[in-house]
């Protein structure tokens, strides 16, 4: 995860939440009173967000001390102490909600990804995400997928060619679309083509696609279509695949299955922040 980008995003999130000031906290804790809070797991799952905790509180006050007791991608259980943060109470209270929101969501994605990988239970096919992410959170959500044992598809429109049905319709054919790309794109750019039929698979192969994605095809249909694809071309399946039916795709022999639900239909993992001690009470 890019540290500079993380700091930049966290700054924006804090500005959105704090605004000019935290009225409640600033009125109650105007002094330098210090305290300590702990992050506690209230459910089992996969933890993700170590750097969010460390970087987030450091942005608010570099004198804040943070200790994270688990690593990203590590399994956690109910009651586990995940992190301990001590420093000026006002700063702890101003940062806890934004940081907790992110850690809960990232851990939820990592948990769902791990469950998906285990349900597929394939020694060949890899699970990957899509661009169906929350605006502003793509870097964090895709990082969480990796922590859960998945892989990342392209990050945006800028880092990979993916010729979809609407591109094909506007261009006139798969061949024309691929040809237009090949004339202008450099040799480092891979070209993926979305297909739905035997004719489209053959056209994509002959056009020189690097990746062929079977869109909204059943497992049986994929097993037939994949026979038309040379071993040198990467294959992918997407569309209509959910946790409930992903095991049906175990024997399709595709290289990747891309899943939008990993980042748009996850449940945030239940984590709470509790006061450990207040130095003002000593």
Question: What domains can be seen in the chain, in order of their start residue?
Answer: 3-116+267-281 (3.90.1170.20), 121-264 (3.20.20.70)
Structural contact between residues 125 and 252, judged by C-beta atoms closer than 8 angstroms: yes
Using CA atoms, how far apart are residues 123 and 166, in angstroms rounded to an integer?
Answer: 34
Of the candidates 251, 242, 173, 185, the one whose C-alpha atom is nearest the C-alpha of residue 219 is 251
As to burial, measured by CB atoms within 10 angstroms (0-12 exposed, 13-18 middle, 19+ buried), residue 41 is buried
Q: What's the confidence (pLDDT) of residue 31?
A: 83
Residue tagged active-site, from 126, 132, 190, 250: 132
Q: Is 215 a catalytic residue?
A: yes
Per-residue pLDDT 10s for the chain (282 aa) are 889 999 999 999 999 999 999 999 999 998 888 999 999 999 999 999 999 999 999 999 999 999 999 999 999 999 999 999 999 999 999 999 999 999 999 999 999 999 999 999 999 999 999 999 999 999 999 999 999 999 999 999 999 999 999 999 999 999 999 999 999 998 899 999 999 999 999 999 999 999 999 999 999 999 999 999 999 999 999 999 999 999 999 999 999 999 999 999 999 999 999 998 766 554
Burial 126-137 (b: 16+ CB within 10 A, else e): bbbbbeebeeeb
Residue tagged active-site, from 7, 44, 81, 97: 97
Of the candidates 250, 278, 268, 207, the one whose C-alpha atom is nearest the C-alpha of residue 116 is 250
Q: Is 194 a catalytic residue?
A: yes
As to burial, measured by CB atoms within 10 angstroms (0-12 exposed, 13-18 middle, 19+ buried), residue 193 is buried
Of the candidates 278, 249, 277, 213, the one whose C-alpha atom is nearest the C-alpha of residue 124 is 249
Using CA atoms, how far apart are residues 96 and 130, in angstroms rounded to an integer?
Answer: 29
How many C-beta atoms surround the C-beta of residue 183 within 10 A?
Answer: 7
Structural contact between residues 149 and 124, judged by C-beta atoms closer than 8 angstroms: no
Structural contact between residues 40 and 139, judged by C-beta atoms closer than 8 angstroms: no
Of the candidates 257, 210, 262, the one whose C-alpha atom is nearest the C-alpha of residue 237 is 257
Q: What three-state secondary structure class fits 127?
A: strand
- Could you tell me the two tokens for 264? 């748009």
How many C-beta atoms surround the C-beta of residue 175 within 10 A?
Answer: 16
Residue tagged active-site, from 50, 192, 215, 236: 215
Q: What's the confidence (pLDDT) of residue 279?
A: 61
Structural contact between residues 42 and 101, judged by C-beta atoms closer than 8 angstroms: no
127 forms beta bridges with 257
215 forms beta bridges with 238
Supply the mean pLDDT for the chain: 95
User: How far, rounded to the nearest angstrom, does the alpha carbon of residue 19 sit from its chain's CA centroid?
Assistant: 27
Residue tagged active-site, from 129, 141, 192, 194: 194
Residue tagged active-site, from 12, 42, 67, 164: 164
pTM of the model: 0.95
DSSP secondary-structure letter at 27?
A: H
Structural contact between residues 145 and 174, judged by C-beta atoms closer than 8 angstroms: no
Q: Is 126 a catalytic residue?
A: no
């Amino acid at each position: 995860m890019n540290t500079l980008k993380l700091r930049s995003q966290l700054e924006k999130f804090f500005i959105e939440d704090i605004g000019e000031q935290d009225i409640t906290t600033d009125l109650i804790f105007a002094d330098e009173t210090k305290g300590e809070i702990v992050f506690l797991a209230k459910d089992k799952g996969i933890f993700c967000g170590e750097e969010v905790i460390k970087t987030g509180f450091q942005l608010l006050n570099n004198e804040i001390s943070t200790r994270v007791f688990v690593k990203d991608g590590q399994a956690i259980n109910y009651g586990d102490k995940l992190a301990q943060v001590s420093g000026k109470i006002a700063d702890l209270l101003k940062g806890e909600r934004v940081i907790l929101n992110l850690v809960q969501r990232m851990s939820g994605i990592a948990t769902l990804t791990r469950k998906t990988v285990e349900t597929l239970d394939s020694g060949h096919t890899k699970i990957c995400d899509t661009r169906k992410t929350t605006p502003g959170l793509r870097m964090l959500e895709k990082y969480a997928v990796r922590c859960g044992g998945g892989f990342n598809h392209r990050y945006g429109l800028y880092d990979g060619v993916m010729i979809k049905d609407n591109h094909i319709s506007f261009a006139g054919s798969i061949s024309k679309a691929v040809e237009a790309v090949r004339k202008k794109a450099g040799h480092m750019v891979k070209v993926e083509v979305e297909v739905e039929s035997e004719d489209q698979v053959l056209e994509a192969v002959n056009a020189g696609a690097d990746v062929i994605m079977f869109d909204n095809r059943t497992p049986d249909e994929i097993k037939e279509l994949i026979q038309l694809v040379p071993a040198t071309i990467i294959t992918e399946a997407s569309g209509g695949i959910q946790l409930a039916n992903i095991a049906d795709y175990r024997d399709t022999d595709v290289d990747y299955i891309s899943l939008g639900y990993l980042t748009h239909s996850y449940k945030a993992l239940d984590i709470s922040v509790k006061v450990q001690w207040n130095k003002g009470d000593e």
